[in-house]
Chain A
């Protein structure tokens, strides 16, 4: 159990110096509040002032990826489940939102443009109909992914599937979803996905002012998710989740059901991905199978790994950094950027296994106590810089 408490305390904010437990908690809380205030000031104040409309829209897109990353941070970083199929939940949320917006654009009783083109349908398919109502579509963006995750998670974790098998299963699910969407071109838009979304609950998405509002909405959602994730991580449940990650059998012997613990984390991560997908649609104006298949699912995880999976802020920083680097590198070096991006991943994994979040702590530690092991070794469980439940090759 020492590992458990050690891991949790060390991962709060990458700040608090070692102190007796009680004062540290409250100190951490003030620090977190300050951190949130700083984050809010940055996202709501600085970013809209400094960035052009185009760059702000890009940031909105990055923040959506960051929301998925917060969920992966919980499921993988804290729970040890390598979720290589988050694209599915991102896609469910995105499609639910896009279906509603397409129907709203088409107007009551009319078919969305692509259905007239490819489907030659006379009327809306039955499974599209409920999405005409925002009261169904909006909750569905989050609840649908959660329901799917619950069903899958219950089956998989009760049967004690884990490690590589779970990762492969996640991937298979992502692949299956893409094949399904592409095959049903008449009703799903096929490879094109759902594009050309004009309005967002009556507001014209082409208007820069409205785009800005969508950005603010996304930033607010991200901060809210972070606050929620922090609560979850610090709760009794959060401790239990880490315990399951580090010693599932031991937790079972203590009388807990590890499957339930894992399902909850998986469902929460799915809900976060669903919300991210739903907000991605008005920000970018497109959802397509290319965004939810195996490759984007892996890219979500790469962002988390680069940022530092076991920390609260690491996944967010990593996701934004990776997405930003992708844009910046591909604009500067259109011909060779993929190599540079690959190199970046290799460097981070090789020299900074704790992720970007460990960078600051590392520097701080070195300065304070040169003999102590670097902080990332303490951030990750077992002091080996590697989780035991992790797939070795990942």
Chain B
């Protein structure tokens, strides 16, 4: 008896499952009706913005400084009266150095917290993971880190450098210094691989030879083999796209192999003031970096930014390029919203073109069509005090060109 009843219930349950699974069918891909978008909640006298950075995991060491910098900008803006008369309420989420978590948290910030904009992401992989989320919901992301280019989402503003504002000027500098050959060392992920592809195309067109190309897994600390290969290749310079902890091991190995800035200079694109502290200046002395901002960049705006940052977080905390780009992002968003007179995403986007801001790195201008910003490229040299001093700059802001369309040698890259 009970057996019979049991079966009936089971059958009933299965029928229910089948029915409900078949019942719901939404729009087809061909309908093109997707993405109604969630509008931000600005009903009160506050406006929420999302802060999406890794507070745990391998990227936390870098991304926490970006979070701090965004908080500084938010506090400054609130102290000065907010945006359109509304105070900014930051909502923080932890991306946990895990790309799908970034996507989950982005969705939460947009649809649950109904933020007006999100500031954050560091790695390209995390940006690629959240990109569809922002595009689907028609929400705004401000991405503050230099990256590999070849992207242009209508719902992302890129306030870090694209390749023609960092890597290409770095190569131009090496060429001007008479370097004829380079060796490429990078972490094994999208940014280094794409950057190196661009470097190889540049080298081919400019009479430079690439003597080798090696990748280490993210977080790897084994550089004996790579440094030996670099040493025996006798390149004029090394182009380094290693990320995070790997730099510590690489430069220690590099120094102990008897190589230094005089014998074989290294140009790094992921080592900023914060990282110099971690690696140790004795290993990095006189090595080169390519960025758009240094703590030592002259100007009153930067002096004010550095002073405010140190006052809030401690005198021993350096400021770096991604931190500055994140700080600038908040101010640019404020300027766009003020110009648009609205928090509505489409109006903010429409207002973006041509907005200028006197940033710590100098004057920046938003380029509407690409949603990148024009920035000045700066090559720096690591000093004994751990700070980076500029040895060359591009003289004026470089217009962003994420697909390198204005460079003949780059055709076929994208």
Residue positions of A touching B, CB distance < 8 A? 26-27, 29-34, 36-37, 39-41, 44, 52-54, 57-58, 61, 105, 117-118, 120, 179, 182-183, 185, 190-193, 195-199, 202-204, 206-213, 216-217, 219-220, 223, 227, 284-286, 288, 290-291, 327, 330-331, 334-335, 337-338
Contact (Cβ within 8 A) B131 A330: no
Task: Please tell me which one of the listed residues B7, B16, B103, B111 contacts residue A285 in the complex, with CB atoms under 8 A apart.
Answer: B103
Residue from B150, B188, B412 with most neighbouring chain A CB atoms (10 Å): B188
Task: Please tell me which one of the listed residues B29, B100, B218 contacts residue A203 in the complex, with CB atoms under 8 A apart.
Answer: B29
Contact (Cβ within 8 A) B125 A288: yes
Task: Please tell me which one of the listed residues B27, B107, B193 contacts residue A210 in the complex, with CB atoms under 8 A apart.
Answer: B27
Q: In the complex, which residue of chain A has the Cβ closest to the Cβ of B111?
A: A54
Q: Does B129 contact A (CB under 8 A)?
A: yes
Measured CB to CB, the closest approach of chain A to B151, in angstroms, equals 8
Q: Does B309 contact A (CB under 8 A)?
A: no
Among the 9-residue stretches B89-97, B154-162, B300-308, B335-343, the one with 4 or more Cβ atoms under 8 Å from chain A is B89-97
Contact (Cβ within 8 A) A191 B17: no
Contact (Cβ within 8 A) A30 B98: no
Contact (Cβ within 8 A) A192 B21: no
Task: Please tell me which one of the listed residues B2, B25, B104, B194 contacts residue A327 in the complex, with CB atoms under 8 A apart.
Answer: B104
Measured CB to CB, the closest approach of chain A to B249, in angstroms, equals 18
A179 to B93, CA, bound (A): 29
Contacts A196-B128, A288-B99, A290-B125; A30 near B26 (Cβ below 8 A): no
Measured CB to CB, the closest approach of chain B to A221, in angstroms, equals 10
Contacts of B105 in A (CB 8 A): 330
Residue from B3, B107, B190 with most neighbouring chain A CB atoms (10 Å): B190
Size of the B side of the interface (Cβ < 8 Å), in residues, is: 64
Contacts of B35 in A (CB 8 A): 206
A139 to B33, CA, bound (A): 31
Contacts of A195 in B (CB 8 A): 128-129, 131-132
Contact (Cβ within 8 A) A120 B125: no
Measured CB to CB, the closest approach of chain A to B111, in angstroms, equals 5
Q: In the complex, which residue of chain A has the Cβ closest to the Cβ of B215?
A: A183
Contacts of B96 in A (CB 8 A): 330, 338
Contacts of B394 in A (CB 8 A): none
Q: In the complex, which residue of chain A has the Cβ closest to the Cβ of B31?
A: A204
Q: In the complex, which residue of chain B has the Cβ closest to the Cβ of A197?
A: B132
Q: Does B256 contact A (CB under 8 A)?
A: no
Residue positions of B touching A, CB distance < 8 A? 2-3, 5-7, 9-10, 12-13, 16-18, 20-21, 24-31, 33-35, 55-56, 92-94, 96, 98-101, 103-105, 107-108, 111-112, 123-125, 128-129, 131-133, 136, 150, 188-190, 193-194, 197, 215, 217-218, 412-414
Contact (Cβ within 8 A) B111 A30: no
Task: Please tell me which one of the listed residues B21, B125, B217 contacts residue A217 in the complex, with CB atoms under 8 A apart.
Answer: B21
Q: In the complex, which residue of chain B has the Cβ closest to the Cβ of A296?
A: B98
* 16 residue pairs from A and B, CB less than 8 Å apart: A26-B2, A27-B2, A29-B3, A30-B3, A30-B5, A39-B13, A41-B16, A44-B16, A54-B108, A54-B112, A58-B104, A61-B104, A179-B217, A191-B99, A210-B26, A223-B17
Contacts A36-B10, A44-B20, A203-B28; A337 near B103 (Cβ below 8 A): no
Contact (Cβ within 8 A) A33 B34: no
Contact (Cβ within 8 A) B108 A29: no
A288 to B97, CA, bound (A): 13
Contacts of A185 in B (CB 8 A): 189-190, 193
Contacts of A26 in B (CB 8 A): 2-3, 6
A295 to B123, CA, bound (A): 19
Q: In the complex, which residue of chain B has the Cβ closest to the Cβ of A179?
A: B217
A220 to B105, CA, bound (A): 26
Measured CB to CB, the closest approach of chain A to B33, in angstroms, equals 8
Contacts A206-B35, A207-B34, A284-B103; A44 near B17 (Cβ below 8 A): yes
A335 to B51, CA, bound (A): 12
Contact (Cβ within 8 A) B29 A198: yes
Contact (Cβ within 8 A) A118 B190: yes
Q: In the complex, which residue of chain B has the Cβ closest to the Cβ of A23?
A: B2
Contact (Cβ within 8 A) B10 A120: no
A185 to B124, CA, bound (A): 13
Measured CB to CB, the closest approach of chain B to A174, in angstroms, equals 14
Contact (Cβ within 8 A) B27 A207: yes
Contacts of B136 in A (CB 8 A): 206
Contacts A118-B190, A193-B125; A213 near B17 (Cβ below 8 A): no
Contact (Cβ within 8 A) B150 A117: yes
A61 to B101, CA, bound (A): 11
A117 to B193, CA, bound (A): 11
Task: Please tell me which one of the listed residues A27, A52, A57, A202 contacts residue B29 in the complex, with CB atoms under 8 A apart.
Answer: A202
Measured CB to CB, the closest approach of chain B to A123, in angstroms, equals 16
Contact (Cβ within 8 A) B17 A334: no
A207 to B105, CA, bound (A): 19
Which 9 residue pairs are nearest across A and B when measured between Cβ atoms? A209-B26, A206-B34, A199-B29, A30-B6, A210-B26, A33-B6, A207-B26, A191-B189, A33-B9
A30 to B9, CA, bound (A): 8
Measured CB to CB, the closest approach of chain A to B383, in angstroms, equals 33
A31 to B5, CA, bound (A): 10
A213 to B7, CA, bound (A): 27
Task: Please tell me which one of the listed residues A183, A203, A334, A337 contacts residue B25 in the complex, with CB atoms under 8 A apart.
Answer: A203
Q: In the complex, which residue of chain A has the Cβ closest to the Cβ of B149?
A: A117
